[in-house]
Amino acid sequence: MARIEGRFGVHALARGHTSERHRSELVIATKSSLDRVIGGGLVAGEPIAFVGPPSVGKLQLALRATASAQAQGGMAAWIDPTASFDPLAAQRANVDLDRLVVVRARGTGLALAAAAALRSEGFRLVVVDVGDPAFGGVNVDDIAPALSAVRGSPAALLVVAGERGRRLAIPTFVFERVAWERRFDRTVGWSFAVGRAHTSDRALFCVTSLEGALADLGTRADLATVAV
């Protein structure tokens, strides 16, 4: 320890409980049932991935997380290699567009942009929406070089992808469509569930296509309690 302190300074070492005490300050809570499924919310200095089929609701929740990060007083970076970011949808999700920097980078620029944003100490949340490779998106593994910048960063990294990466070992939450909602033979929305693949607990949401609003239905455990 003395050698590490002599080399890197007295702040290089800290006891674990010190970090735990400050954990509450680092959490970006979305104030939805998603927080209970992912353990309180997105945490600064930690990566997380939303994975699921197209148009299931990943970006809706990512926008909600962005708005929550901004509500805590920080800025957010949105890495958008497919140039598909929709400002209107973001505004509807209460995202402050003045405090959101959108970076359109592909290839090696993708990891560069993510790493620079994570290291800058200027952002609370960095979202990387890689899109679906079948529709012009990039490979989720392209951001692997940026992962080393997450630890110690004041920002949380949220990766939104169509499928899991082969080189990307980060906590992944799977989005599954539960049911389509139809009225008068027309589809007016859908519900989806979010959770880790190996656990049974899921957060349930409903999207209505008329307003594009996201309704929080609670967790599956909550619904089971209500049913009983």
Partner 1 sequence: MRDPVTLAIVVTDAPELHSRLLATLHAALPRVGVLDPGAFACDLAGTEDLLGAPARVARNVLARCTLVGARASAGIAPTPFVARVLAERTPPGEVRSVDDGRAFLAALPLDVVPVDPKVHEELRLLGLRTVGEFADLPRGSVFDRFGSAVARAHALARGEYGDMVRASAPLRRIRARRAWDDAIGSREQLVFALRVVVDEISAALARDGFAALRLELRLDRESAGPLRIERTVLPPTREAAALLRSLRWALEERAELGLVTGCALEVPEVEAARGRQIGLFAPDGAREEEAIATARYLRAKLGKGAVLRARVADDSARLPERASEWVEVIA
Give the binding site for partner 1 (CB under 8 A): 7-9, 11-12, 72-75, 77, 85-88, 90-91, 97-105, 109, 112-113, 116-117, 119-124, 148, 154
Least distance in angstroms from the C-beta of 120 to partner 1: 4
Determine if residue 83 is left, alpha or beta; phi over 0 gives left, psi from -120 to 50 gives alpha, anything else beta. Answer: left
Could you give the CA distance from residue 159 to residue 221 in angstroms, rounded to a whole number? 26
Report the residue number, 98 or 185, with the smaller CB distance to partner 1.
98
Least distance in angstroms from the C-beta of 175 to partner 1: 24
Report the residue number, 39 or 122, with the smaller CB distance to partner 1.
122
CA-CA-CA-CA torsion sign (141, 145, 150, 156):
negative
Report the residue number, 53 or 109, with the smaller CB distance to partner 1.
109
Alpha helices in the chain (DSSP H): 2-8, 16-26, 33-38, 58-71, 87-92, 108-119, 220-227
Least distance in angstroms from the C-beta of 24 to partner 1: 13
Report the residue number, 109 or 218, with the smaller CB distance to partner 1.
109
Q: What is the dihedral of CA 69, 150, 205, 211, to 10 degrees?
A: 50
